[in-house]
Amino acid sequence: MTRAASGYRAPVDAPWWREAVTYQIYPRSFADADGDGTGDLAGITSRLDHLADLGVDAIWLSPFYPSPQIDYGYDVSDARGVDPLFGTLPDADDLLAKAHEVGLKVIIDLVPNHTSSSHPWFTKALSAGPGSPERDRYLFRDGRGPDGEEPPTNWRSVFGQPAWTRVEDGQWYLHMFDEEEPDLNWRHPEVAEEFRSVLKWWLDRGVDGFRVDVAHGLVKDLRDQHVPDGGTPNSDPAVMYDEGIEDDPMWDQPDVHGVYRDWHDLVASYPGERMLIAEAWTQGPEYLRGYLRSDEFEQAFNFRWLQAHWSAREFTDAIVSTLEALRPSSAWPTWVLSNHDAVRHRTRYGDGPQALARARAATLTMLALPGSACLYQGEELGLPHVELPPEHQQDPWAEGGNGRDGCRVPLPWSGDAPPFGFGPGDGQPWLPQPVQWTDLTVAAQTGRPDSTLEFYRSALEARRRYALGGDEEVRFLDAPEDVIAFRRGRLSVVLNCGAVPTPLPRGDVVISSGEPVGPELPPDTAVWLLGDD
Ligand code: NOJ
């Protein structure tokens, strides 16, 4: 790996998020201060120095609110508290204060599409019965067919089951995810009022922003989904696209935007630069633009980079389509390769050292692109997705397979055996760590020049020096079919997805994702070069 040379250029005066690198923390798997095997807020606070050393600008915390943990906290039963599993409200305040002290912004998760079935609103809705105002906060409907035995629509949930569940009195309620996650009725004024109040509650405590879960899903058009002859209904935008299902009454309904205009004004009324970032798995970046109007979200996760396979053509398409889609708006792009819902990118690109080399190369290329990037905890260690034995698989989306648990295995910090410093003592974490992770711990990788951790530290430092403060332009250079080469300002970036070395353009090497680079770039490697303006 080649380290960054000097040549610092100060970022332009822009909102902090525009070119920020955000680090996603999945609290139950980051660090465990109390030794119960599950990560917690005090554990995060105790490890903030790792993030400051890494050089990220912000952290995004997946949910830590009271929850039965059926969907690991995305089933929220009280949006204004902290689940005892993760600590206390003072722990949250302490984390916020200490993160700010070391210069990190803090984004928290907001889950407005649904609550937990153990939320007091849902419990009351069940006992109040059909036609009651309590039921109207959710999407309860009578069924169809004789005795209402058929669900109100033909929808499938994202987790693969029917999206409606019948309750004892015969009515059905909608859940686009797990049946323990009933969807709220966003046409009900009390729902809107409740979430305004939740936003204020956390803004008052000092959070810098919210990642809005399922932002494209709050408002629905409750009618059957039309599917091509012989097809089956589906609610996963990627599957719908593959199967030619164009009808989409579940997502992206025009009325959802009113919610965000309201929130935008609320968030903007607070001092400092607070922000909203949408999680919206739309069919492509062109659909994201609607959420990025100047009076809605500041940012939206763009999953095109994550969805691209190891292919120069697919990576190029991701860049081009993203920039084209956003050009008519004032929003800047975002990029991400891994998160708590996806197979880790190291594993998506294959096995062994080659996959790791590719993962590092894709990361380095991403970090040169205009806009902001989001890292997922553990990718800076080069962690693979873990194939867990069936008895340890817990994800409700597992569908009998590995589900998302494989990217949620607790981080290895130090030592040569599980729990690798995840918590104090020898107590084992909630998901087992592979014994082979000895060389992947933070301690083992620190100071080792060829380690993935040192590579990430250098790449983020190089980004601050060379990749920030420019404009959004990406100028593609002539390159062989399996290679991407582009320029941003004085930086030339080359990514070799092919099987043979490729010649490099002129310029001084700033950093490479692999072995020091000569006149040619080896396969599975990316490089940044500094040339003339
Ligand atoms: C998206 C979250 O990222 C995922 O983890 C969760 O299961 C669903 N939304 C439901 O909240």
Tell me the best of 25, 74, 157, 176 to mutate to test the pocket of ligand 1, counting ligand atoms within 8 Å of each CB and taking the most.
74
pLDDT(5) > 70? no
Q: How far apart are CA 150 and CA 176, in angstroms?
A: 17
Compute the mean pLDDT over every residue in the chain, rounded to the nearest whole number: 94
Tell me what the mean pLDDT of segment 428-453 comes to.
Answer: 97
CA distances from 480 to 55, 82, 348, 531 (A): 34, 53, 24, 20
pLDDT(246) > 70? yes
At 96-146, the pLDDT tens digits run 999 999 999 999 999 999 999 999 999 999 999 999 999 999 999 999 999
At 194-219, the pLDDT tens digits run 999 999 999 999 999 999 999 999 99
- Quote the ligand 1 centre to 341 CA distance (angstroms): 7
Tell me the best of 61, 109, 213 to mutate to test the pocket of ligand 1, counting ligand atoms within 8 Å of each CB and taking the most.
213
Top pLDDT among 282 and 422 is at 422
Domain boundaries, the chain: 15-112+189-219+255-445, 120-174
The confidence band for 327, taking pLDDT boundaries of 50, 70 and 90, is confident
- Quote the ligand 1 centre to 405 CA distance (angstroms): 13
Fold of 15-112+189-219+255-445: TIM Barrel (3.20.20)
Q: Phi-psi category of 214—alpha, beta or left, where left has phi over 0 and alpha has psi -120 to 50?
A: left
The answer to whether the CB of 357 falls within 8 A of the CB of 525 is: yes
- Quote the ligand 1 centre to 122 CA distance (angstroms): 19
Nearest CA to ligand 1 atom 5: 341
pLDDT at 399: 62
pLDDT(392) > 90? no
pLDDT(400) > 60? no
3-state SS class at 215: coil
pLDDT(11) > 60? no
pLDDT at 1: 45
The confidence band for 395, taking pLDDT boundaries of 50, 70 and 90, is confident
- Quote the ligand 1 centre to 447 CA distance (angstroms): 36
pLDDT(39) > 70? yes
Tell me the best of 70, 179, 214, 250 to mutate to test the pocket of ligand 1, counting ligand atoms within 8 Å of each CB and taking the most.
214
Ligand 1 shell residues, CB under 6 Å = 71, 74, 111, 177, 213-214, 279, 340-341
pLDDT at 329: 86
Q: How far apart are CA 15 and CA 4, in angstroms?
A: 25
**Ligand 1 atom showing the smallest separation from residue 397 Cα:** 7
Nearest CA to ligand 1 atom 11: 74
pLDDT at 401: 58
- Say which amino acid occupies 350: G
The confidence band for 4, taking pLDDT boundaries of 50, 70 and 90, is very low
pLDDT(282) > 90? no
pLDDT at 215: 97
Nearest CA to ligand 1 atom 3: 341
The neighbour count for residue 496, using CB atoms within 10 Å, is 28
The answer to whether the CB of 40 falls within 8 A of the CB of 26 is: no
Q: How far apart are CA 310 and CA 329, in angstroms?
A: 29
pLDDT at 10: 40
pLDDT(345) > 90? yes
Catalytic site includes residue 213:
yes
**Ligand 1 atom showing the smallest separation from residue 176 Cα:** 10
Top pLDDT among 390 and 336 is at 336
**Ligand 1 atom showing the smallest separation from residue 74 Cα:** 11
pLDDT(54) > 80? yes
Peptide bond into 228 cis (omega under 30): no
Of 7-21, 260-274, 518-532, least confident by mean pLDDT is 7-21
What is the value of pTM for the model shown?
A: 0.96
The neighbour count for residue 351, using CB atoms within 10 Å, is 10
Q: How far apart are CA 185 and CA 47, in angstroms?
A: 39
Q: What percent of the chain has pLDDT over 90?
A: 86
Q: What percent of the chain has pLDDT over 70?
A: 96
From the list 75, 279, 298, 524, the catalytic residue is: 279
- Quote the ligand 1 centre to 113 CA distance (angstroms): 10
At 405-424, the pLDDT tens digits run 999 999 999 999 999 999 99
Q: What is the CATH number of domain 120-174?
A: 3.90.400.10
Tell me what the mean pLDDT of segment 498-506 comes to.
Answer: 95
Nearest CA to ligand 1 atom 2: 213
Dihedral angle at the C-alpha atoms of 59, 176, 221, 251, nearest 10 degrees?
Answer: 40
pLDDT at 9: 39
Q: How far apart are CA 332 and CA 188, in angstroms?
A: 33
From the list 75, 213, 248, 379, the catalytic residue is: 213
Q: Is the dihedral of CA 36, 37, 38, 40 positive or negative?
A: positive
Tell me what the mean pLDDT of segment 71-90 comes to.
Answer: 98
